[in-house]
Amino acid sequence: MNAGTQFADHARRRFLKGIGLTLGASIAPGALFVELARAKPPTEAVSNTNRWGLLIDTSKCTDGCDACVRGCNDEHGLDGKGRPATDAQWIRKLSIRQRSTGHRHSLPMLCQHCDEPPCVDVCPTGASFKRADGIVLVDKHICIGCRYCMMACPYKARSFIHETLRDQLPHAPRGKGTVESCTLCVHRVDRFGGDALPACAEACAEAGHNAILFGDLNDTGSEIAERLHTQGGRQIRADLRLNTGVRYQGIP
């Protein structure tokens, strides 16, 4: 093999190696972001074919455990100022005791993402709104901070921002003088759709309780719809006929 042939082989090898590296460099990030690629494109509107909701099994919810609350606070940067009366609370743990029997339950309470949300009805500017997929949100840009939605909410699920905020998280914009509440981790829903897991449900699962199930109430094949169909579920203040997106099991 003469020197010219050796040079040509070397050049070919370098060329092929370059091609390989280029292809690898092109494909690898694609493979990494395949999960993202499954997300709903930002231009695609949410649809009412989905109705996102939660099913909370109070028999699995442990008294004294507040993993869901901590998970929510961490996810949204809800670091309190040590003033419980004015600190924001998107999800809280309730202890309830039946007066007639003394039977106790522990359960998380949060925005119930009503189909007929009183907060949306009363909001003068339309800042409180319900998305087509059932998630109830506050548009922080047009909330004037009148707090009428807090007066109207049957679940005390909304908080007013009483103080200046710092170090907010990009996916959870908040603002002093406006009202906020559970978003059902809409930033995750918009990225991962039905594969999303709200922070509270994720934290509950990590704590080994699996008391909070997230899913599409409209999808008859989903676990949440299946369980509601076979086992039933209760709405809190069902008498108000708000058709809540959050349902409970285990409370008589």
Partner 1 sequence: MKHASAFAQIEARGPGYAALVSILTVVLLAGLWAAHNMESQGHHITGMNNQVVWGIPHVFAVFLIVAASGALNVASLSSVFGRTIYRPLARLSALLAIALLLGGLAVLVLDLGRPDRLIVAMTYYNLKSIFAWNIFLYTGFIVIAGVYVWFMMEQRFQPLSKPVGFLAFAWRLTLTSGTGSIFGFLVARQAYDAAVMAPMFVAMSFAFGTAVFLITLLTVSCVTTRPVDKAVLDRQSRLLSIFVVAVLYFVVMFHVTNLYAAEHRDIVRFLLFDGDHPYAKLFWIGQIALGSALPLALLWTPRLSRSSIVRFVAACLIVLGGLVQLYVIIIGGQAHPLVLFPGYEVSSPFFDGEVGQYAGTVNEYLLGIGGVGLTVLVVALSVRVLPIVPKKPPAAPTDHAVT
Binding-site string for partner 1 from residue 49 to residue 88, where x marks contact by CB under 8 A and - marks none = --------------------------------x-xxxxxx
- Mark the segment that binds partner 1 (CB under 8 A) among 6-14, 15-23, 38-46, 154-162: 154-162
Q: Distances from the Cα of 57 to the Cαs of 153, 154, 186, 241, 245, in angstroms?
A: 23, 21, 22, 21, 14
Contact status, residue 249 vs residue 53, Cβ threshold 8 Å = no
- Mark the segment that binds partner 1 (CB under 8 A) among 17-25, 183-191, 207-215, 236-244: 236-244
Q: Which two tokens stand for residue 32?
A: 């990494």
What's the CA gap between 201 and 102, in Å, rounded? 28
**Any contact of residue 146 with partner 1 (CB under 8 A)?**
yes
- Mark the segment that binds partner 1 (CB under 8 A) among 10-18, 142-150, 187-195, 204-212: 142-150
**Closest Cα partner for 211 from 101, 95, 71, 68?**
68
3-state secondary structure of 69: helix
Q: How far is the CB of 25 from partner 1 (least distance, A)?
A: 48
Binding-site string for partner 1 from residue 87 to residue 116, where x marks contact by CB under 8 A and - marks none = xxx--xxxxxxxxx--------x-------
3-state secondary structure of 136: strand
Q: How far is the CB of 191 from partner 1 (least distance, A)?
A: 29
Q: How far is the CB of 78 from partner 1 (least distance, A)?
A: 12
**Any contact of residue 166 with partner 1 (CB under 8 A)?**
no
Query: Could you tell me which residues come within 8 angstroms of residue 200 by beta carbon, excluding any fewer than 6 positions away?
Result: 68, 69, 71, 72, 91, 108, 110, 185, 212
Please, which residue, 45 or 85, has the CB nearer to partner 1? 85
